[in-house]
Structure 1
Amino acid sequence: MSILLYELVGADAARPFSPHCWKARMALAHKGLGFATVPVPFTEVPTVEDGFATIVPVIRDGDHRVADSFAIAEYLDAAYPDRPTLFGGEGGRALSRFVESWTQRTIHPFVSTSRALVSIHDSLAEPDRVYFRQTREKVFGKPLEEVVVGDEARLEEFGKKLNPLRSLLEKQAFLGGDTPLFADYIVFGAFQWLRVVTPWQVLEAKDPVAAWFERCLDLHGGEGRKVSAAA
């Protein structure tokens, strides 16, 4: 029986966009495990697996249910040790926590205050649009359209913040070295989030980060390319 992966989607059930769900999807593909996806809009997240979690991704693997992308990766490495490792050992798992923290403090804040924010809203079905706008505007204290003003001006500074990542990828193909590890999927999920929701190009073609992202899109039979870029 295939593993079930619950993914966040908008009005188009075939276009999952959550960076965390993409981490889980790539982890499953990395392990070579068969899985089926279950599309979940924002307002139905609390109903997943009879209220098992308040977030997605969630996986069901037989009798096992796991929520949170990092916990899912840890579960997969423990449950399927004979398949390609996601962490390469305890040290890699600990370093992946650092990568997760860096990504959520560097890439996610930029994406979530850029034009992607409005694009996500516009991609949702009506009940989810209401929920998304209300919850996000409560956090930001102003309309979504005002939050994203000036994102083009912030792009240069965002690019500078990628220099640690850029420097590493000038020397090796993946964060994991010659082959990817879960750390790669953590960062990949953030850029895939942008790719799926907006055609805005934040990386120049010559950027080592852009070249790495293209390599990630090609991994595991092109898993990342199964959802086309926003037009």
Structure 2
Amino acid sequence: MKPIVFYDIPSNMAGNAWSPNTWKTRYCLNYKRLPYTTVWVEFPDIPTLCLHIRAPKTFALPMADHTLPAIFDPNTARVVADSAAIARYLDAAYPSTPRLVSPPASAPLLAAFDAALVGALAPDVLALMVPPIRDGLRPRSAAYFTRSREAHFGVPLEALAPKGSAKRAGHVAALVKTFETVAGWLAAGEGEGRGEGEGEGEERPFFAGDAVSFADVTVAAWLKALRLVLGEDSEVWRAVASVRGGRWARFAAAFEAFEAVDAGTEYVVPDSV
């Protein structure tokens, strides 16, 4: 099997990989143990790359038609963009690997979960993460990221959630409330149908029980990005990690086995483009 080509966004942060959206695909590839190689694409070059490989528009962000992740599978000559679509494709193309969308009929529900989670997190997580993301990017990407995000938000990035401000405290509190809500989803039904002494109240590892699903990957990717971009010692990560006695810290730890990042290669814009 030839390695799948996985397009990701580089940074100066530890481990290079940082984006919650591309982490979804990296977790999928690592969990399935599929061979792949990363091609690192700077932000200004993403539209060129996507047009060159004929990746479909994702409309994932209001400031960009083309976004990453995307993959090219040389074994099938397929290009797939969007993390949920990639997960479905990997399940279909490599049925002998652990499934992430099971049963296949659950695909619409998992896509809805992904969209609902992003919608719930976005106002607060973006305010908190966007400025340090900019600071962790390489110069070309940082300049592009600053221009596009300040045009979208209408304010300097430093004004989104200034450290020590009541505005920042409000975003942190709202983010914790969202993760408390999601923890409730994860805990729903725990211990049901069990008698005394049969594991009542046992913590379910993942949303579907003992097996990882794309819903778990979605949450794990945001947790990874929070820890990496804001830091394990940040007030944001400490607050999120402490929800329900450390529920999200334990959940994140379960995904450490799937966090390998290869060195990869740098994307070079072709002369013909």
- Find the partner of 1:146 among 148, 159, 166: 159
Provide structure 1 residue ranges, at least 5 long, that are not aligned to the other structure.
none
Whose helix proportion is higher, 1 or 2?
1
- Find the partner of 2:121 among 88, 94, 107: 107
Compute the displacement of 1:125 (Å): 2.1
1: CA distance, partners of 2:14 / 2:246: 32
Q: Secondary structure at the match of 2:240?
A: coil
1:1-231 alignment, distance < 5 Å:
1-11=2-12, 14-48=15-49, 50=52, 52-53=54-55, 54-62=66-74, 63-114=77-128, 116-149=129-162, 150-170=167-187, 171=190, 172-199=204-231, 200=234, 201=237, 202-205=239-242, 206-217=245-256, 222-224=257-259
Aligned-partner residue type, residue 206 of structure 2: F
Compute the displacement of 1:191 (Å): 1.5
Task: Report the count of equivalent residues.
Answer: 222
Q: C-alpha offsets along residues 123-143 of structure 1, whole Å, 9 cap, x if unaligned?
A: 122222221111111111110
Q: Secondary structure at the match of 1:16?
A: coil
1: CA distance, partners of 2:28 / 2:93: 13
Verify the 8 A CA contact 1:108 1:190 in the aligned structure 2.
no
- Aligned-residue sequence identity (percent) comes to 29
- What TM-score results when the alignment is normalised by the length of structure 2? 0.75
1: CA distance, partners of 2:175 / 2:125: 10
Verify the 8 A CA contact 2:30 2:259 in the aligned structure 1.
no
2: CA distance, partners of 1:139 / 1:74: 31
1: CA distance, partners of 2:3 / 2:14: 19
2: CA distance, partners of 1:80 / 1:122: 38
Rg (Cα) greater in structure: 2
- What TM-score results when the alignment is normalised by the length of structure 1? 0.87
1: CA distance, partners of 2:241 / 2:31: 27
Verify the 8 A CA contact 1:165 1:209 in the aligned structure 2.
no
2: CA distance, partners of 1:138 / 1:56: 20
2: CA distance, partners of 1:36 / 1:168: 34
2: CA distance, partners of 1:71 / 1:96: 11
